[in-house]
Amino acid sequence: MALTDEDDIADQTAAWFTRLTSGEATEADRADFERWRSADPAHAQSYAELQELLGTLDTAFIDEFANDALLDRETRVGEAATAPRIAWRPWAVAASLVLLVGGGSLLFQYSPEREGAYASASTAVGEQRTLRLADGSIVRLNTASKLRYRLGSDERSLMLDDGEAFFQVAKDPTRPFIVTLPTARVSAVGTGFNIRIVGSKTEVAVTEGVVTLDSISGQTGASYRLSKGDFARLGHDKLAIVRGMQSNPATAWTEGQLVYENRTLGEVVEDLDRYYAGRLILDHGMVGNLRVSAVINLTGEDEVLRVLSDQLPIKVERMPNGDRRISARNDKGG
């Protein structure tokens, strides 16, 4: 059966989507895409609808149909002449799935009970992960983090339930980018910022543009504007903001480093504990009050602890269960 014009547009839409979200798209690709999208209102509508639909698909739903979607598409559809030539990869599953449903055309009532559903992503202890969203935004998840997200037609909604993430937001004034946290909400249009959840506190560091930080718990009920170089720590009814920092240690992890400036060893150990499976246990006493100023590369745990023990009068012992005990070292190094 010959493909209809609607089918052809659907194929081109999915091909452009996979190319632009592959991480390999060039400036020439983006210029070609803009020409394709502006050439016909149906192109622009098709791409916008695909973005909205994929924002509602959760990862379990995509995984369930991934293999069949790819196999069926390879046998059913040839490459469209006006679409970019690309190889189908795992991140193309969602687009191929949309092509499958409805026999080649975009079908947006794919599953009524899933409307409004959030896709999810998470990292294990010590793991980091980069997500490329359908709108072109990039999210980097740090260790032990949990994120949910949905890209709608009027809003890009994300929920960071735990951990830490850096957001590089694609500009789209018509769809605000909103990250909801247990105690706060961060809104942006096109910017870069880091968010970390620390117990009942939320830390936000802005690297580019402007964001709005809103408290959604406690009695503060206020809204704060943060610009490039600003760092905010929001707790229950308490807020601290440092303005115009030239460099912010909060984002060093995205470069594979941890930066500590006059922090206590207790604070450093608590932070490092996020990255390794075995616990770091401080002995009782004053050892936790030792001050630390260091740049630590996120390599193996042994190397990290060696750097600390070289700088401080401490010793590190491995316990039978894999935990590490940190205690004061006497003057003789014992």
Q: Where are the domains of the chain?
A: 5-113, 118-242, 256-328
Q: Name which residue leads in pLDDT, 261 or 71.
A: 261
CA 174/CA 120 separation, integer angstroms: 24
Rounded mean pLDDT of 313-321? Answer: 90
Q: What is the pLDDT of residues 87-127, one digit of tens each?
A: 334 344 444 444 444 333 333 333 333 345 788 899 999 89
CA 249/CA 295 separation, integer angstroms: 9
Beta bridge partners of 139: 131, 167
What is the reported pLDDT for 264? 92
- Token readout for 169 is 């937001």
Q: 204, 192 in Cβ contact below 8 A? A: no
Q: 66, 30 in Cβ contact below 8 A? A: no
CATH code of the region 256-328:
3.55.50.30
160 pLDDT tier (thresholds 50, 70, 90): very high
Beta bridge partners of 86: none
CA 187/CA 178 separation, integer angstroms: 4
Q: Which CATH number fits domain 118-242: 3.30.1330.10, 2.60.120.1440, 3.40.50.720, 1.20.1540.10?
A: 2.60.120.1440
156-162, strands of its sheet edge to edge: 119-122, 146-151, 156-162, 177-180, 184-188, 210-215, 223-227
CA 296/CA 276 separation, integer angstroms: 14
145 pLDDT tier (thresholds 50, 70, 90): very high
- Least confident segment among 56-65, 73-82, 115-124, 246-255: 73-82
Q: What is the pLDDT of residues 262-316, one digit of tens each?
A: 899 999 999 999 998 888 998 877 888 999 998 988 888 888 888 888 889 999 9
pLDDT at 322 over 90: no
**Residue 299 CB partners (closer than 8 Å, separation 6+):** none
Q: What is the pLDDT of residues 19-65, one digit of tens each?
A: 776 667 788 888 888 888 888 888 887 777 776 666 544 444 444 44
Q: How far is CA 75 from CA 16, 68, 178, 254, in A?
A: 20, 11, 40, 41
State how beta strands 184-188 and 177-180 pair. antiparallel
201 pLDDT tier (thresholds 50, 70, 90): confident
pLDDT at 73 over 60: no
What is the reported pLDDT for 195? 96
pLDDT at 2 over 90: no
8 pLDDT tier (thresholds 50, 70, 90): confident
pTM: 0.65
What is the reported pLDDT for 207? 94
Strand, coil or helix: what is 14?
A: helix
Helix axes 59-76, 93-100, angle to 10 degrees: 70
Rounded mean pLDDT of 233-260? Answer: 86
The answer to whether domain 118-242 and domain 256-328 are alike in fold is: no
pLDDT at 128 over 80: yes
What is the reported pLDDT for 148? 92
> What is the residue type of 81?
A
Q: 305, 273 in Cβ contact below 8 A? A: no
